[in-house]
């Protein structure tokens, strides 16, 4: 069959038509840019007949995988609100466990405080880092709906197991003769190994459930909006803000209502309330099933990535100027060979990977994808690689957030938490970042967007990467203030005789000075995480959006692990128990140097921000094939026949 070609976006601007000799491996910039001027639309690959998506991936289907006859009866904000409810309950459970489980392990299971904090940090890290598994299953086999449905049930089973652990005495060590002094001295009866095994098992079942939900919920919600609508980008921007608002509401409930239930009715009731909330949200999610729009899973993304790497390696020694070269391979027509994905235009990044799409005469008529990949498949891998540095730069923010969950609570124990006649529990203090996030998101479109639009000229006030950058910058201010206040708090404690009584509140020093760092980190989280989620959804390949969204969760999980490792290194490097020298992170906060540790985090945050500026300035937002073709038509450029001829 005759081969046809489409222009690469790289040279859409240029009217020049190069000869075959321009397909070489020269290192000069002029010649390097000419590799992707044309690529062949060659013979159909059988998978293309399975109904790949048109450009942009705009083919929603119903739960049975059939095209939706009337889109007006599905999707939109009504469907999104059912999804918001599921995410609110999941975040409520997640934060409810993160703020209460350390105390439960310490006070009830009688584990050392440091071991309890590390165990919970590892649980949080695994539940986030393993999100790539949920994203993989959704994109490869199950689709986002069924992945959420399965893993949200697993999540509920884990929460039920935790509730049983906290409610039945058989799962708990003896609580008699165990007061606060005995706890501090480690004289209470510790949990039996099998009791800790049971608790850890149900805890990690819960984390496994969260790992399947987290990368899919935001992407599934965004799938409910029509990409062909003129208001699509506006709807998408508002969706991710409302999505994170639902996350924040879940966190606020966890830090207030769940803590109150625990204080008034015990640990079993507190964890039981999380299980009940998850059960109700699951019911609502399933009720909304007829309204949802779905995207077909595109097959294993890991397999497609492996095929590109293997094919590129096999042809690593084939020059682009080879006389055997037919062209860069792509299937004909508007549809790609990958279910759930539109065609992706060729780019000149990672040129070594283009060898996977080099079609040679020796490849034959119907080559294996392990020998020859389409341009779209190669570009998927390029996009995944180009995306990596952005979420990697948010790991530092996750480290700061993780440290705040433990360090700032230790600070709050030494301060006066009275608000007038009301005394707030220390475990309620993390609610204030949530309140600041709630207020900011509520005022975002009425205050921030109009003001920033005048400065940047961007219709949404700031681009996605600009918002990530703003968040990282504000996080530097937050941790720097934390260092300044901790220096003041520690000096006050030493000067007023509180050096050894570190669990006694200093009545003349209010805990509400912590609100400054809490509110700043809340603002940082809004800009950084919301911008990152929207960025990953829009920039990820159509058939890999769950995996792309998992990047954010993986970065959060790596931050939890890094915080634990960093704490252990700092304790080892700055303390010497044989000489009676306390570490910076001593359990007695008044003899430790939390302020030095906060300054250390500030320096790391500044370095990280500089790295982000570098990678963000180099990043180019991707264009769809439709945008490239439209741009070429506006310039009066016609599709031309490749001088390389036909297959």
Q: Among 244, 275, 297, which residue terminates a domain?
A: 297
The answer to whether residue 594 sits within a structural domain is yes
What are the tokens at 638? 């016609």
Residue 52 lies in a domain: no
Q: Is residue 96 domain-shared with residue 211, that is, in the same domain?
A: yes
Could you tell me if 406 and 305 lie in one domain?
no
146-150, 277-281, 379-383, 631-635: the lowest-pLDDT one: 631-635
Q: Is residue 174 part of a domain?
A: yes
Residue 596: pLDDT band by 50, 70, 90 thresholds?
very high
- According to the model, what pLDDT value does residue 423 have? 74
Please report whether residue 6 resides in a domain.
no
Q: Is residue 16 part of a domain?
A: no
| pLDDT of 322 | 63
Asked if the structure places residue 460 within a domain, the reply is: yes
Three-state DSSP at 557 gives helix
- CB of 549 within 8 A of CB of 244? no
- What is the average pLDDT score of the chain? 78
Would you say residue 12 lies in a domain?
Answer: no
Does the pLDDT at position 537 exceed 50? yes
293 and 306 in a single domain? The answer is no
Instruction: Convert the pLDDT of each residue in 273-295 to its tens digit.
Output: 999 988 988 898 898 888 888 88
Same domain, yes or no: 100 and 223: yes
**First-last CA distance in the chain:** 7
Instruction: Please tell me whether residues 358 and 432 are part of one structural domain.
Output: no
pLDDT for 488 beyond 80: yes
Rounded CA separation 96/270 (Å): 9
Give Cα separations from 609 to 56, 296, 525, 528, 612 (angstroms): 32, 38, 14, 12, 5
Work out the pLDDT band at 243, boundaries 50, 70, 90: confident
User: Helix or strand or coil: residue 459?
Assistant: coil
288 and 307 both lie in a single domain: no
146 with 290, same domain: the answer is yes
- Does 596 lie in the same domain as 573? yes
Q: How far apart are CA 171 and CA 55, in angstroms?
A: 56
Q: What is the pLDDT at residue 8?
A: 37
What CA–CA distance (Å, rounded) separates 404 from 10? 46
With CA atoms as reference, report the closest residue to 145 among 283, 294, 287, 282: 294
Residue 31, in any domain of the structure: no
Place of tokens 């020269």: 26
The pTM for the full model equals 0.76
* Residue finishing a domain among 275, 297, 319: 297
- 358 phi and psi, to 5 degrees? -70, 115
The band of 183, judged by pLDDT with boundaries at 50, 70 and 90, is low
CATH number where 89 lies: 1.20.1250.20
* Residue 541, pLDDT above cutoff 50: yes
Q: In terms of domains, do 247 and 356 share one?
A: no
- Domain range for residue 208? 63-297
Q: Are residues 425 and 538 in the same domain?
A: yes
Distances (CA, A) of 383 to 129, 142, 594: 20, 23, 40
Highest mean pLDDT (candidates 381-385, 417-421, 597-601, 634-638): 597-601
**How many domains, in total, are found in the chain?**
3
What is the predicted pLDDT for the residue at 6? Answer: 35
- Domain boundary among the residues 250, 269, 297 is at 297
Q: List strands edge to edge, sheet with 4-7.
A: 4-7, 38-41, 325-330, 358-360
Distances (CA, A) of 197 to 165, 339, 646: 11, 43, 65
Q: Does residue 58 carry a pLDDT above 80? A: no
Let me know whether 251 and 374 are in one domain. Answer: no
User: Which residues are paired to 40 by β-bridges?
Assistant: 5, 329
Q: How far is CA 463 from the centre of its chain?
A: 18
User: 161 and 76 share a domain?
Assistant: yes
């Amino acid at each position: 069959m005759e081969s046809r070609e489409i222009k690469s976006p790289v040279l859409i601007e240029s009217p020049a038509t190069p000869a075959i000799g321009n397909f070489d491996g020269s290192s000069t910039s002029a010649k390097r840019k000419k590799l992707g001027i044309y690529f062949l639309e060659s013979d159909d690959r059988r998978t293309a007949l399975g109904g790949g998506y048109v450009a942009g991936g705009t083919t929603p289907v119903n739960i049975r995988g059939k095209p939706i006859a009337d889109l007006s009866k599905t999707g939109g904000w009504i469907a999104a609100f059912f999804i918001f409810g599921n995410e609110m309950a999941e975040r409520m459970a997640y934060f409810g466990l993160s703020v209460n489980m350390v105390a439960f392990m310490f006070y009830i299971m009688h584990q050392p405080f440091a071991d309890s904090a590390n165990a919970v940090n590892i649980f949080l890290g695994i539940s986030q880092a393993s999100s790539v598994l949920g994203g993989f299953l959704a994109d490869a086999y199950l689709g986002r709906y069924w992945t959420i449905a399965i893993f949200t049930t697993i999540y509920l089973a884990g929460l039920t197991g935790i509730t049983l652990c906290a409610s039945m005495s058989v799962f708990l060590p003896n609580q008699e003769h165990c007061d606060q002094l005995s706890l501090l001295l480690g004289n209470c009866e510790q949990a039996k190994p099998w009791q800790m095994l049971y608790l850890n098992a149900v805890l990690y079942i819960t984390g496994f459930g969260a790992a399947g939900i987290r990368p899919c919920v935001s992407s599934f919600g965004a799938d409910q909006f029509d990409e062909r609508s003129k208001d699509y980008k506006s709807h998408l921007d508002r969706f991710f803000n409302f999505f994170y608002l639902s996350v924040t509401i879940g966190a606020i409930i966890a830090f207030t209502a769940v803590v109150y239930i625990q204080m008034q009715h015990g640990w079993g009731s507190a964890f039981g309330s999380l299980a009940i909330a998850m059960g109700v949200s699951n019911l609502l999610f399933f009720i909304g099933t007829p309204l949802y729009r779905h995207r077909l899973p595109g097959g294993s993304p890991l397999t497609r990535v492996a095929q590109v790497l293997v094919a590129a390696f096999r042809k690593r020694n084939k020059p682009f100027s080879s006389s055997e070269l037919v062209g860069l391979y792509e299937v004909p027509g508007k549809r790609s060979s990958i279910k759930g994905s539109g065609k992706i235009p060729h780019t000149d990044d990672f040129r070594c990977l283009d060898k996977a799409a080099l079609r040679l005469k020796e490849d034959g008529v119907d080559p294996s994808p392990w020998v020859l990949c389409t341009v779209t498949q190669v570009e998927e891998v390029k996009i995944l690689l180009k995306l990596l540095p952005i979420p990697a730069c948010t790991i530092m923010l996750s480290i700061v957030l993780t440290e705040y969950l433990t360090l700032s609570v230790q600070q709050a124990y030494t301060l006066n938490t009275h608000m007038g006649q009301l005394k707030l529990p220390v475990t309620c203090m993390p609610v204030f970042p949530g309140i600041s996030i709630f207020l900011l998101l509520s005022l975002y479109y009425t205050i921030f967007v109009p003001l920033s639009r005048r400065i940047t000229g961007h219709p949404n006030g700031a681009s996605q990467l600009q918002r990530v950058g703003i968040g990282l910058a504000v996080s530097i201010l937050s941790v720097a203030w934390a260092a300044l206040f901790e220096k003041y708090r520690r000096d006050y404690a030493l000067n007023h005789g509180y050096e050894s009584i570190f669990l006694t509140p200093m009545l003349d020093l209010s805990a509400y000075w912590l609100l400054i760092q809490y509110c700043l980190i809340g603002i940082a989280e809004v800009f950084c995480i919301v911008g990152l989620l929207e960025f990953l959804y829009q920039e990820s390949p159509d058939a890999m959006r769950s995996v792309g969204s998992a990047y954010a969760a993986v970065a959060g999980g790596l931050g939890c692990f890094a915080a634990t490792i960093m704490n252990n290194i700092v304790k080892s490097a700055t303390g010497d128990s044989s000489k009676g020298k306390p570490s910076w992170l001593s359990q007695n906060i008044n003899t430790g140097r939390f302020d030095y540790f906060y300054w250390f985090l500030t320096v790391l945050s500044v370095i990280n921000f500089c790295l982000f500026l570098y990678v963000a300035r180099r990043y180019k937002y991707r264009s769809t094939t439709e945008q490239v073709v439209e741009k070429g038509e506006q310039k009066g450029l016609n599709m031309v026949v490749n001088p390389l001829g036909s297959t």
